[in-house]
A and B are shown apart, each in its own frame.
Chain A
Amino acid sequence: MKVKVLCRNPDDYVRETKKDLPRVPRNYDPSLHPFEVPREYTRALNATKLERVFAKPFVASLDGHRDGINCMAKHPRSLSTILSGACDGEVKIWNLVKRECTRTVQAHDGFVRGLCVRFCGNSFFTVGDDKTVKQWRMASPGYGEKEEPIHTILGKTVFTGVDHHWKDGVFATCGQQVDIWDEQRSSPMRSFTWGVDSISSVKFNPVETHVLASCASDRNIVLYDMRQAAPLKKVILEMRTNTICWNPMEAFVFTAANENYNLYTYDMRNLGTALKVHMDHVSAVLDVDYSPTGKEFVSASFDKSIRIFPVEQGYSREVYHTKRMQHVICVKWSSDNKYILSGSDEMNIRLWKANASEKLGLLAPREREALRYNDKLKEKFQHHPQIRRISRHRHLPKSIFSQIKEQRIMRAARRKKDLNRRKHSKPDSVPFTSQKKKHTVAVVE
């Protein structure tokens, strides 16, 4: 007779001293882990609920401006620095770590219309209602020195925006026309005009650095190549575009913030159809900025909220609002992909987390692992109705909530009308037009 009976030595399973970690022998045999899927589902549900519990995106508010914030700029070299220009001509430089203003410059009479930092981070440009472009040193003046710009250029017309080239000492301003300036000269290298209009914003492409785009109040978006004498092409939309932003990872792609509550992502090569129409705002979209990963962008709207959209999706994944925040004029996504800054009418700059439920600060390895595991579970079960409902739930201010409802009704009515028209007219006489094409009036080469 041969016999063996299970007999475990407790010493192999119990820790030797109280200072040791308890022993945890594992056996990954699936039959020892029953109900794998229901348990994972429960975990995913818990994780989703916890995510909503911990979703506290508001980090800080920077106050100090004496008028509404009109423009903001990121520092290309320092994560903790942000510049803001207000409607009273004041420019403030903020330290985000200390959450305080480090320097105040009275840059212009009237509005500071545009603000951009040179790629090296040593100086910045401002344009204002007083028809001047000013270059300022980033470092504050020494003791006894006066706060003075390095250069001042007096233009003929009001400038409404400025952007600096990403590599060379060249910058562009817009107003009645788009001017390309060499930093060393006081007259523009080149001026682009296409019809008579007032151009509201101009942006250099961060990848194809010679390409720039502008949007004007006659509803068009114009693309330029700095090396050519004439603009490349333009697209005319139904309503005015307020700002555009280039995707930092995909050279051809830019997103336009439109007055008709939508954002349009375009491929530069094919302006006839938008890549995606992003809908969710209930008032004009005033500003847009891409995350450094190029996967998402944030938009600021007149409806007193900011929204985060994934690039490939038509609807926002997140909406931020507070009771005190008024019309949001400008918004920036920080270069470390973690924060969002919004400047609004009521003189405050707000700092938000880009991922609302993210824990700030250093994570312990086990905590990080647990969070990753939860993320994966949430992804796995994201389409289950309960989980989707919880993860999509957001509280909205009453005004936005009721307006969304109103818009929905309006959209349905429009669709119905369209259907009826189609039904009662000759077949094929009322064509189907997709949302992506509907809002484009014309493309002019």
Chain B
Amino acid sequence: MLWKRAVHEYIYFLQKMKRYYEEGDEEKKPPEQAPVEDQEPAEEVTKAIEMTPPPSNLSHRNKPKNQLISGAKDPFPGSASVTKELLSKYERPGKVKLVRNMCAQRFKSLEEKVQTAVGLTARHEVLLPEEDGYLEADEGQDTWTITQQDIAEAVDITSGSKHFNLVLPQFGPYSINYAGNGRSLLLGGRRGHVAAIDWQSKNLNCEMNVMETVNDVRWLHTQSMYAVAQLRWLHIYDSNGVELHCIKKFNDVLRMEFLRYHFLLATCSSTGFLQYLDVSVGKEVVATNVKAGRLGVMCQNPYNAVIHLGHSNGTVSLWSPSMKEPLVKMLCHRGAVRSLSVDKTGMYMASSGLDKKLTIFDIRTFRPLHSARLPLGAGTLCHSQKGLLAAGTGDVVQVYKDTRIAAPKTPYLCLSAKAPIHGLQFCPFEDVLGIGHGGGFTSMIVPGAGEANFDAMECNPYESRKQQREWEVKALLEKIPAELITLDPTKLGEVDTATLEQKQREQKERLGLDPNEKERFNPRRRLKGKSSSANLLKRKKKVGHERQRVSMSVQERKAKQQEIKEGQASPGPKSTLDRFKK
């Protein structure tokens, strides 16, 4: 028995080892031909090829395309197979559904081209050099019990050095910001300490004390400029700490977000204004009075650049610079909203409130997916590129995995910062979570947090000075206008068809009357005593029922006509003996 089982296992192993090019051959072969113990898969391939009839004296015209003159055969014929899931990853939404006879062929060929491109990009994935990080605990162990020291010891020295502490007890708590490519780190202590460091080499680029409260810090599009929201005004400094601008139109700023594709710095202030600064020309784009009191909670949706604001009455409002009203207003919590974060795909929003709940919302439907109660409630939230969610609860940072699938219950990783947590951000393209807290800064290793393979055309952590300059010019050239910030950024590429409502409105304008309007029944006034309000309502209802019946009968008539038509199609009149027909 044991022997048989071993054989089975080996066969299973061989089947698993099968390559993609063998899949096509599988159907031809009967199951008995499954590889036996001593048969090697390579031999099997040759067999499968031999089974196909050898090319006879075909003329050149009849010769298959891929055949070589030498007679050599392509061991991997056709293009590599890809799974549907992989293809769907690269497919863009908004396929053209509008197909008329005239342009059907054009759309078809266009669609074919798009599919080819999708196939090619999906196949390119095997060429990506790096693999995502991961952390797997031993049996019976939970991953959250693993300490940073354990991880730092287990991994290589370079990765281990990514866990470090900066002890800065004087000027905390610290808000932090990583640059777009994850190289530089900006620290802003509440009591005025601002520092920019290259966190990997631990080089200090600039350090200063602005002698004023610092509410937030944010890198602009390059590592040569950053914005600091100070007690009164918004200041912009360069990489050496030289003050470039003091923008007095932006006062009492509490939080900032930089929309890097739009070159907009969105700020929200304690006076209740949401303002947008175009950093490429230095002009205020729009200032909106949110009319919801002090605005201390803000985050951006990286998918569509919509700004999410959390309010003290538990609502979250979504803003775009082209609208004076919120795009969406949703009630998320019973108490005030403490923190917000939207993941990279723009589908899920995590929010935490004073009711100590951490709720995951689906922003496509604006409905909560799941919710969990955290003992202290999360004061700060942050999503990583791979969808991990970090929550700062009191002194402890908890990182959750797969929050879109299940409610965040047991954390993936935990770390106590030993001081109240103020700022959290995952470092882009690295497995690192930066924690700004009352005692300084802590860099935490979170395996599987960052995107492994970056695209150098978007942001390149290893870019040279020249590449950086070139990128800046290109990025400025394709700066997206602020008016294009909408909930669905793909709308711009779709066909704009008139809705039924629009068509009816146009028809109404054209004709001067509404042909679809139903005449409202106005009950005639009758003699005294017969026109009581109950009577009127009764008469109205009667007419309503009558109309409904008429419309029903129309449907019935249609159904009857349909029946008659079908009856005509079947030959001969029906008789009782028809049922015996075969």
**Does B484 lie within 8 Å of A4, measured CB to CB?**
no
**If A5-B162, A6-B431 touch, does A28 touch B445 (CB 8 Å cutoff)?**
no
Chain A residue, CB-CB nearest to B478: A42
Chain A residue, CB-CB nearest to B430: A6
**Does B155 lie within 8 Å of A3, measured CB to CB?**
yes
A187 within 8 A of B: no
B203 within 8 A of A: no
Q: Write 20 A-B pairs (CB below 8 A) sorted by A numbering.
A: A3-B136, A5-B156, A5-B431, A5-B447, A6-B130, A6-B447, A7-B159, A22-B464, A22-B466, A24-B457, A26-B457, A27-B455, A28-B455, A34-B261, A34-B302, A34-B303, A35-B304, A35-B305, A39-B261, A41-B493
Bound-complex Cα distance A347 to B157 (A): 82
B233 within 8 A of A: no
B138 within 8 A of A: yes
Instruction: Please indicate the chain A residues that have their CB under 8 angstroms from the CB of B199 in the complex.
Output: none
Tell me, rounded to whole Å, the shortest Cβ–Cβ distance linking A10 to chain B.
Answer: 6
**Does B92 lie within 8 Å of A42, measured CB to CB?**
no
Bound-complex Cα distance A39 to B491 (A): 13
A33 within 8 A of B: yes
Bound-complex Cα distance A380 to B121 (A): 21
Chain A 21-56 against B: per-residue CB contact (8 Å), 1 yes, 0 no? 011111111111111111111110010000000000
Instruction: Please indicate the chain B residues that have their CB under 8 angstroms from the CB of A22 in the complex.
Output: 463-464, 466-467
Near B by CB (< 8 A), chain A positions 30-89 give 30-43, 46
Instruction: Please indicate the chain A residues that have their CB under 8 angstroms from the CB of B154 in the complex.
Output: 1, 3
Bound-complex Cα distance A202 to B484 (A): 56
Instruction: Please indicate the chain B residues that have their CB under 8 angstroms from the CB of A13 in the complex.
Output: 460-462
Instruction: Please indicate the chain B residues that have their CB under 8 angstroms from the CB of A423 in the complex.
Output: none
**Does A14 lie within 8 Å of B455, measured CB to CB?**
no
**If A1-B150, A5-B133, A41-B484 touch, does A36 touch B92 (CB 8 Å cutoff)?**
yes
**If A13-B462, A39-B261 touch, does A4 touch B92 (CB 8 Å cutoff)?**
no
Near A by CB (< 8 A), chain B positions 71-104 give 89-90, 92
A2 within 8 A of B: yes
B480 within 8 A of A: yes
**Does B484 lie within 8 Å of A6, measured CB to CB?**
no
Chain B 124-136 against A: per-residue CB contact (8 Å), 1 yes, 0 no? 1000111111111
**Does A4 lie within 8 Å of B305, measured CB to CB?**
no
Question: B interface, how many residues as a size bin?
Answer: 35 or more
A8 within 8 A of B: yes
Bound-complex Cα distance A42 to B132 (A): 33
**Does A31 lie within 8 Å of B484, measured CB to CB?**
no
Instruction: Please indicate the chain B residues that have their CB under 8 angstroms from the CB of A31 in the complex.
Output: 344-345
The 5 tightest CB contacts between A and B, nearest first, are A37-B493, A13-B462, A5-B159, A2-B136, A24-B456
**If A7-B156, A38-B492 touch, does A26 touch B456 (CB 8 Å cutoff)?**
yes
Tell me, rounded to whole Å, the shortest Cβ–Cβ distance linking B139 to chain A.
Answer: 11
**If A3-B134, A3-B136, A30-B90 touch, does A39 touch B478 (CB 8 Å cutoff)?**
yes
Question: A interface, how many residues as a size bin?
Answer: 35 or more
**Does B466 lie within 8 Å of A4, measured CB to CB?**
no
Instruction: Please indicate the chain B residues that have their CB under 8 angstroms from the CB of A428 in the complex.
Output: none
Q: Which of B89, B121, B138 contacts A1 (CB 8 A)?
A: B138
Chain B residue, CB-CB nearest to A26: B455
Bound-complex Cα distance A22 to B231 (A): 43
A145 within 8 A of B: no
Chain B 462-504 against A: per-residue CB contact (8 Å), 1 yes, 0 no? 1110110000000001111100100001111100000000000
Instruction: Please indicate the chain A residues that have their CB under 8 angstroms from the CB of B480 in the complex.
Output: 35, 38-39, 41-42
Instruction: Please indicate the chain A residues that have their CB under 8 angstroms from the CB of B344 in the complex.
Output: 31
Instruction: Please indicate the chain A residues that have their CB under 8 angstroms from the CB of B490 in the complex.
Output: 36-37
Bound-complex Cα distance A27 to B456 (A): 8
Instruction: Please indicate the chain A residues that have their CB under 8 angstroms from the CB of B481 in the complex.
Output: 42
Instruction: Please indicate the chain A residues that have their CB under 8 angstroms from the CB of B450 in the complex.
Output: 6
A12 within 8 A of B: yes
Tell me, rounded to whole Å, the shortest Cβ–Cβ distance linking B535 to chain A.
Answer: 49
**Does A42 lie within 8 Å of B479, measured CB to CB?**
yes
**Does B478 lie within 8 Å of A46, measured CB to CB?**
yes
Bound-complex Cα distance A328 to B302 (A): 57
Instruction: Please indicate the chain B residues that have their CB under 8 angstroms from the CB of A25 in the complex.
Output: 129, 453-456
Tell me, rounded to whole Å, the shortest Cβ–Cβ distance linking A257 to chain B.
Answer: 30
Chain B 288-307 against A: per-residue CB contact (8 Å), 1 yes, 0 no? 00000000000000111100
**Does B447 lie within 8 Å of A4, measured CB to CB?**
yes
Bound-complex Cα distance A42 to B479 (A): 7
Instruction: Please indicate the chain A residues that have their CB under 8 angstroms from the CB of B466 in the complex.
Output: 22
Near A by CB (< 8 A), chain B positions 107-153 give 121, 124, 128-138, 141, 146, 150-151
Tell me, rounded to whole Å, the shortest Cβ–Cβ distance linking B498 to chain A.
Answer: 14
Known A14-B462, A38-B480, A41-B484; further 4 A-B contacts with Cβ < 8 A = A22-B464, A34-B261, A35-B304, A36-B490
